[in-house]
Amino acid sequence: MVSLTLLSTALMGLLVLATFVAAARIGGQRAPGADETEDTYTALTRQLGGIVRTPAVWSVAFVVVTLGVGALVVLSVGNFAFVEGFSGSLLSALYAVVGLLVTGFVFLGAYFGVRGRGLGNAHGVAAGSFAAGLVFLVLIAVQLLVGVVG
């Protein structure tokens, strides 16, 4: 049973690799189109894009996330009276948050990698979803081999 699961996981991994190779070969940068008018949506996305591309925003977000995860770890494993009953569920929530952060990183890395090669949003979402699915496949394979969850 485990060998069939590993074979299935290996085949899905090869399929993911083939998808990324195909996306990399399609490549080619698109020429930016000329916008005559700028509506509210375009102006808002342009302004938010400028904010997101600021290194200070990324630095502050990293510090906030790091301090938040560190505080949750200390609260979940520490001997504090007010979280005594919640320590197990708090640790599970922490695992879920870290897992979502890693999966989000993988999704966005694949998305922006495909978008950087000139493909559209749909291609980026497809590649990101495929990469996030690969993360879940790896989690399932590890669970079947060593039983890390539950």
Tens of pLDDT, residue by residue over 73-105, are: 887 777 777 666 677 777 778 888 888 888 888
Collapsed DSSP state (helix, strand, coil) of residue 116: coil
Distance CA 60, CA 42 (A): 26
Q: What is the pLDDT of residues 125-150, one digit of tens each?
A: 999 999 999 988 988 888 888 876 65
Burial of residue 127, with CB atoms counted within 10 A of its CB: 0-12 exposed, 13-18 middle, 19 or more buried: buried
Q: What is the pLDDT of residue 29?
A: 45
Q: What is the pLDDT of residue 49?
A: 85
Calculate mean pLDDT across residues 49-53: 84
Average of per-residue pLDDT values in the chain: 80
